[in-house]
């Protein structure tokens, strides 16, 4: 698989395949969606994940921020699972590690909040 690889993450910054991003990102199996923003900054709704649903990964890893401030409501979890996508929610540093591990064997996407 030639899935994008996270090279590094620190508060407010992530490097993916040689490109540094300072705004939240969605990493899809084939590409990176830079400058990702949600309709409600610290709440993740299904509409915020249109690109993920279109890409239809097996797994979605959500990075909820360095201290886990971004929430994933039950409704959003239900919609992700109804689409047949396994959901993993972790603080962003751990989510980056999980994503990199899974990208080697599964069709995985990541939605990563880079700050709080």
Domain locations in the chain as residue ranges: 6-112
pLDDT band at 1; cut points 50, 70, 90: low
Furthest-apart CA pair in the chain: how many Å? 35
pTM reported for the whole predicted model: 0.96
Q: Measured between alpha carbons, how far is 8 from 15 in angstroms, rounded to an integer?
A: 5
37-74 pLDDT per residue, tens: 999 989 999 999 999 999 999 999 999 999 999 999 99
Q: Which residue blocks in 21-91 are alpha helix, DSSP H?
A: 50-55, 74-82
What order of strands is seen across the sheet that includes strand 59-63? 32-33, 25-27, 108-112, 59-63, 86-90
CATH of domain 6-112: 3.40.1230.10
Instruction: List phi, psi (to 5°) of 43.
Output: -130, 130
């Amino acid at each position: 698989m030639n899935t994008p690889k996270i090279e590094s993450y620190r508060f407010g910054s992530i490097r993916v395949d040689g490109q540094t991003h300072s705004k939240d990102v969605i990493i899809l199996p084939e590409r990176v969606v830079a400058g990702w923003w949600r309709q409600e900054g610290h709440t993740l709704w299904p509409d915020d994940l249109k690109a993920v649903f279109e890409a239809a990964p097996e797994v979605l890893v959500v990075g909820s921020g360095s201290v886990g401030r971004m929430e994933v409501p039950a409704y959003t979890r239900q919609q992700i699972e109804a689409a047949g996508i396994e959901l993993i929610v972790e603080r962003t540093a751990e989510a980056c590690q999980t994503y990199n591990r899974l990208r080697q064997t599964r069709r995985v996407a990541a939605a990563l909040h880079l700050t709080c």
